[in-house]
Amino acid sequence: MTTESPTLEEIAAAGTRRQKDAERLKHSSEALKGLVLAALRDGEHRPTDVTKASGWTAAHVRKMARDAGIESDERYRERAERLRKTSDRPASSAEKSA
């Protein structure tokens, strides 16, 4: 079974398709980013639900939000600070023996 080498025209056509796909991806990503940021600003949906619906990671959505000037909810910051303080404290003797 022999396979023919691709022609330059086939390679050029594939390159054109790839470029069009990249442009479509860029436009759809920009549209999705706009929707995600609008939803985060509106506050109607929980950020975790917006993130899940977008298909992006939480870290990516957080970075986009911060870059757009959207800060985290004050309650979240307080909770994160409490958790940091709890994890920074040394373990008690009861916790060490467990």
- pLDDT, tens digit, 9 for 90 and up, residues 4-58: 999 999 999 999 999 999 999 999 999 999 999 999 999 899 999 999 999 999 9
DSSP structural state of residue 82: H
- The residue among 92 and 51 whose pLDDT is bigger is 51
- The residue among 29 and 1 whose pLDDT is bigger is 29
Structural domain count, the chain: 1
Residue 95 has pLDDT above 60, yes or no: no
Residue 98 has pLDDT above 90, yes or no: no
Q: Is residue 56 part of a domain?
A: yes
pTM of the model: 0.68
User: How far is it, in rounded angstroms, from Cα 44 to Cα 31?
Assistant: 19
Q: What range does the domain containing 75 cover?
A: 8-88
Residues 6 or more apart whose Cβ sits within 8 Å of residue 69: none
Tokens of 19: 């470029």
Q: Is residue 62 part of a domain?
A: yes
Q: Is residue 2 part of a domain?
A: no
